[in-house]
Structure 1
Amino acid sequence: MGRIAGWLALVGLGALCGSWYGSVVSATLIAGLLASVAVGALCEWTLPAPGSMLGGALVSLLATFIPVWLFFLPALAFEAGVGLGAIVPTAGSVGMKDSLAKDSRLLLDLLPAFFWLIPAITDLILFRGLTQRYALLTLLTSALAQGGGLACARLAEAKERVWQIEDTGRYQIRQLRGRINDLDEERAQATRMAHLSERTRIARDIHDNVGHQLTRAIVQIQAGRVVAQSKGDQSAEQLLDSVGKTLDEAMTTIRRSVHDLEDEGTDFASQMQEASSEASTGRLQVDLNNGIEAAPAPVCRCLATIVREALTNTVRHSSAKSAQVILRDLPAFWQMVVQDDGGIQQSQPDSSHLKKPELHRGMGLADMEARARALGGTANSGPNQQGWKVFVSLPKEPWFYHTPAEHEEGRKVMA
């Protein structure tokens, strides 16, 4: 807006000086005014094209033959300076001297920017008196106006570069913030996994060390009770019985703590994701829909193992391209469904004499059923629609409603 305002001010000043010089607003002056406005608007519209200054150069040449147009030379020179500032960086941004030496066309493109000198110098030479003074003033004013136009163009270019730098800086800041957020999430996840791993290690150490020592002490106490009972030493038998009950309570407390640590140290979602992603790295695409937030460690291991086995069977024995793993957390059960979209590939030399093809159940299916039964649940598998389906249901009752002793018995069966 400042550049356009300056140019309009020069055009208006030229019109005032022209009317004062001729003592009347003539049609020739109005024609010069309209021509100056037209070529200025054309130059602004076509910048930074090399031919944008040709209109101003033509009006400048006409001012040689129309003396009253001499007063519009500052406005034309201003627009020529703007054209210089817009064309020179575009054509010779690598190096002005190299561009001028290698590209002769650049000189031809820049030459019209100085055509305003022709009428100004011509009037300065040909005329004397007041007209010569006007020509000299116009020459100096036009030179200053061209410098001002060049400065305005360079200032606009500098502002544009500043805006580009600011935009680039904001974009980089957004990228860095996004990266920082990703790193924070990765760090939090790594810290959480380290905590879970440490809890699992502590539970394993307590089970392997303190649990075995307490078990040995309980066995020794029970043996001492038998010896005291055989000898008829009732006082020793009562003492050993009391110590045995204390050790049993301690053993129950340690087992409960170990199980709690093991459950808290198990990341159910991560194990399900890991079990599903192992098969999805090949030709099989696996879609995991996990509706279970947390489950006891044995349940987590059981379901993860069954998922691996089911997806491995899908890859080996079917032509499935995709499979879906669905986990549901129901009020009384944990349920899992593994469904693929491929038929069964069976190599049967000659099945024409068979009335109905039989599906041979291998060790993998038997192992899945055995693992589910160890937790009091069921596992069924077979053809379903266009693929193979594995359905597993595990009850929650052993983990929430049994006594600690029954709970531990279930743990021993699962191990």
Structure 2
Amino acid sequence: MSTATAPATLVLSDRLNAMQESQTIGMAKKARELAAQGVDVISLSFGEPDFQTPQYIKDAAKKAIDDGYTLYTPVPGYPELRQAIADKLKRENNLDYKPENIVVSTGAKQALANTVMSLVNPGDEVIVFAPYWVSYEEMVKLAEGVTVTLMGSLENDYKVTAAEVEAAITPRTKLIMYSSPCNPTGAVFSREELGAIAEVVARHPQVYVLADEIYEYINFVGEHVSMAQFEAIKDRVITVNGFSKGYAMTGWRVGYIAACKEIAVACEKMQSQITSGTCSIAQRAALAALQGGRSSADEMVEAYRRRRDLVLDIVKDIPGMKTPKPSGAFYVFPDVSAFFGKTTPHGNTIENACDLAMYLLNDGHVAAVDGAAFGAPQCLRFSTAAADEKLAEAFRRIKVSLAKLA
């Protein structure tokens, strides 16, 4: 039986060739390949809670099946889910939205992509706060926009300042993208910091803001501030959130935007031609999640806080790792440039963070992600969404492997 092969003349699209594979997914794939060979790999590469979805949410999904929620759904989501999201935004974020301002998508990633594709024209500049989540830049490429990367300083926990934003804006600037709490750094913008940035944006009426708040509930410092709370720019802010992180619902794939009606309608139009409505069962589960409150999320946050502190306690004794204290999310993002130029026991030179990540995988059997994927080539990202004993063993191995470098 013959195996189908690609034609010799196959030429893939330029847009595809310009894209990079998600490095978080790529490293997870390498770790699985090594594990399949019988190697005891501890993977800290994937941004996924290690908790199960709360039982009451699972039960709601089972009931949805029995109740016949098996047909196509409205493109922007079930009306009752959109109302529940609007209620949540009012209750927890002091944001006034109606269901018509909400579009439910197949994960926050699709919500982000819908927005970028709806707003950005070829040649438009998109300011991206760095370090940034891996897919931001690739989404801008797909829209044929131009990414303008703003790197926050290590001394400021990698947070970009209002003055830096002001200096980066040009007549071609269309959009600003950022996350808070931040993936990968765990940095959380304060009310004062976001307020100062909002004042800058208010002076540039052509600029919109895409605020990624998917890690909202995983916050170790208290107040979460939404950029859309600043009245002067509310209608130019698109808030993205979802259920993957706060409710441990990664596989359910439910995210959403809240935006002015015109942008919501645009995102609905975009989605209607790509995926249509999100899975009916997952939407009913998301509705139950909101109705059940956030006590399960708060329990997970305490575990993430404990794990962060456990890791930082080990990392402080690893010479050469400079790691700011994360204020949210579930990552540590150390500057590892002190190891560049060093030699492995096999005589290979560590030229960059990618080399270091591969060395740690092959020598210590710990998977991390190269910081270049996040716009910070001097760093590595480690997920702390793993059991305490796994984290302790992983960073013990890392310490041992790094000590071998000469």
For the pair shown, the structure with the greater C-alpha radius of gyration is 1
TM-score for both structures, normalised by structure 2 = 0.16
TM-score for both structures, normalised by structure 1 = 0.16
**Per chain length, whose mean CA-contact separation is higher, i.e. which structure has more relative contact order (CA < 8 Å, sep 6+)?**
2
Q: If each structure's helix is expressed as a fraction of its own residues, which one has the higher value?
A: 1
